[in-house]
């Protein structure tokens, strides 16, 4: 998948970068959004995007902003991310998107009027021929741009606009919020039905304090790389990227209050594995929540509970198919 980051890459086809490489070619079929989670609703839009791109003979393109508008305007109040940027890139690539454009959301972007948004980004920047958006799409300063104003702009500037109806599963409108709500209450099966797959996090294994190895529970540690996590606690998991087939394990995602931890960390104990994982990129798939994170009065009491958690995770995972 082609990647372009920053306004300087939104250019005419005959312009080239300082290194002599062509920048983004004009004329595309575009969709715009957060695409957090790349859930079934997003996948429906991407399916339409790809069909329209083929009809128009253009590149199917997704435009996202980093950080999200909510993260920029209200960092403390913004919802947890389902997918950090790298995870989003991987999911969009797997869905068949051919080009991802990532623009920084900042004060200038926040203040951009709907008219400027269309003229600078959609028309001059990307040369959009057809725009595919969700049912709740808004744009421009204070989200004043509506589907009606977008369609009017399209008629004026020569691009068409297609609005996609909500995707519904089990009577629920599929959205990133709906996925987060189910993860928050520990209903990972319901979250998977909305995502179209089980929820995962990916990352590179980093060094920890080696306490788990000392206690007989060595862990692969992943930094969350996001302000907030949509999942917390002790979890039954499967780990991808170590061997050809996923490996079962038990994980703790939290701040490790028993040892006075501060930074949230995902610690994964992979069952029956003794290899060195430091520096390896892995994916952790969340199967079920076992319990909340708690502070123990001693390491001995924590060890007893870790053994209980591991036994319960093994039993649960033995009854759940992969995939």
Do 141 and 207 fall within a single domain? no
Share of the chain above pLDDT 90, in %: 79
Residue 68 confidence (pLDDT) above 90: yes
CA angle 160, 163, 165 (to 5 degrees): 160
Of 148, 167, 186, which residue constitutes the final position of a domain?
A: 167
Asked if 41 contacts 163 with a C-beta cutoff of 8 angstroms, the reply is no
* pLDDT (0 to 100) of residue 271: 96
R_g of the chain, CA atoms, integer Å:
22
Distance CA 66, CA 103 (A): 6
Dihedral sign of CA atoms 115, 132, 89, 198 in order: positive
Distance between CA atoms of 201 and 282, rounded to whole angstroms?
A: 9
Last residue in a domain, options 121, 145, 167: 167
C-alpha span between 133 and 145 (Å, rounded)? 13
- Domain membership of residue 187 (yes or no) is no
Tell me the pLDDT band of 16, cut-offs 50, 70 and 90.
very low
225: left (phi over 0), alpha (psi -120 to 50) or beta: left
Residue 215: the pLDDT is: 67
Q: Compute CA 206 distance to the chain's CA centroid, rounded to the nearest angstrom.
A: 21
Domain check: are 97 and 151 in the same one? yes
203, two tokens: 């990352």
Q: Which pLDDT band, with edges at 50, 70 and 90, does 213 fall under?
A: low
Q: What is the pTM of this model?
A: 0.91
| Residue 268 burial (CB count, 10 A) | 25
Report the percentage of the chain scoring pLDDT > 70. 91
SS3 2: strand
Query: CATH code at 101?
Result: 3.40.50.620
pLDDT at position 323, please? 66
Q: How many CB atoms lie within 10 A of CB 227?
A: 15
E-strand stretches of the chain: 2-5, 28-32, 59-66, 99-104, 128-134, 160-164, 168-169, 172-173, 200-204, 220-223, 233-240, 247-254, 265-270, 281-291
Tens-digit pLDDT profile for residues 110-155? 999 999 999 999 999 999 999 999 999 999 999 999 999 999 999 9
> Can you tell me the distance from the alpha carbon of 319 to that of 198, in angstroms, rounded to the nearest whole number?
16
User: How would you class 82 by CB atoms within 10 Å of its CB: exposed for 0-12, middle for 13-18, buried for 19 or more?
Assistant: buried
Same domain for 227 and 155?
Answer: no
What confidence score (pLDDT) does residue 35 get?
97
Same-domain status, 244 and 152? no
**Where do we find the tokens 């948004």?**
117
State the angle between helix axes of 176-184 and 188-195 in degrees (0 to 180), rounded to the nearest 10.
160
| pLDDT greater than 60 at residue 90 | yes
| DSSP-derived 3-state class of residue 193 | helix
Do β-strands 247-254 and 265-270 pair in parallel, antiparallel, or remain unpaired?
A: antiparallel
Convert the pLDDT of each residue in 149-175 to its tens digit. Answer: 999 999 999 999 999 999 999 999 999
Domain match, 135 and 41 both = yes
Domain carrying residue 26: 2-167
Q: Does 190 reside within a domain? A: no
181 in any annotated domain? no
- Do 110 and 12 form a contact (C-beta atoms < 8 A)? no
Q: Note the pLDDT of residue 12.
A: 42
Residues belonging to the chain? 323
Kindly tell me if the per-residue pLDDT of 289 is higher than 80: yes
167, 187, 217 - which closes a domain:
167
158 in the same domain as 18: yes
């Amino acid at each position: 998948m082609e990647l372009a980051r920053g306004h300087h890459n939104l250019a005419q086809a005959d312009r080239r970068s300082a290194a002599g490489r062509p920048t983004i070619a004009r004329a595309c079929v575009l969709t715009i959004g957060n695409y957090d989670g790349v859930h079934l609703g997003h996948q429906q839009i991407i399916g339409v995007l790809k069909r329209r791109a083929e009809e128009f003979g253009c590149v199917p393109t997704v435009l996202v902003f980093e950080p999200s508008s909510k993260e920029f305007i209200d960092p403390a109040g913004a919802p947890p991310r389902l997918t950090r940027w790298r995870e989003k890139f991987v999911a969009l690539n797997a869905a068949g998107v051919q080009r991802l454009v990532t623009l920084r959301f900042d004060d200038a972007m926040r203040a951009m009027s709907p008219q400027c948004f269309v003229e600078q980004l959609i028309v001059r920047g990307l040369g959009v021929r057809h725009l595919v958006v969700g049912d709740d799409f808004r744009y421009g300063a204070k989200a004043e741009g509506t589907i009606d104003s977008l369609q009017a702009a399209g008629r004026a500037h020569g691009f068409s606009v297609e609005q996609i109806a909500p995707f519904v599963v089990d009577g629920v409108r599929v959205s990133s919020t709906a996925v987060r709500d189910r993860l928050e209450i520990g209903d990972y099966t319901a979250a998977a039905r909305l995502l179209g797959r089980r929820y995962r996090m990916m990352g590179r294994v980093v060094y920890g304090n080696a306490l788990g190895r000392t206690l007989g529970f060595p862990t692969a540690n992943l930094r969350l790389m996001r302000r907030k996590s949509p999942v917390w606690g002790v979890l039954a998991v499967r780990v991808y990227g170590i061997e050809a087939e996923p490996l079962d394990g038990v994980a703790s995602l939290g701040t490790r209050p028993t040892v006075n931890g501060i930074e949230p960390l995902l610690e994964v104990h992979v069952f029956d594995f003794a290899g060195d994982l430091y520096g390896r990129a892995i994916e952790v798939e969340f199967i079920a929540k076992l319990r909340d994170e708690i502070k123990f009065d001693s390491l001995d009491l924590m060890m007893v509970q870790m053994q209980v958690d591991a036994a319960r995770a093994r039993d649960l995972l033995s009854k759940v198919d992969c995939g």
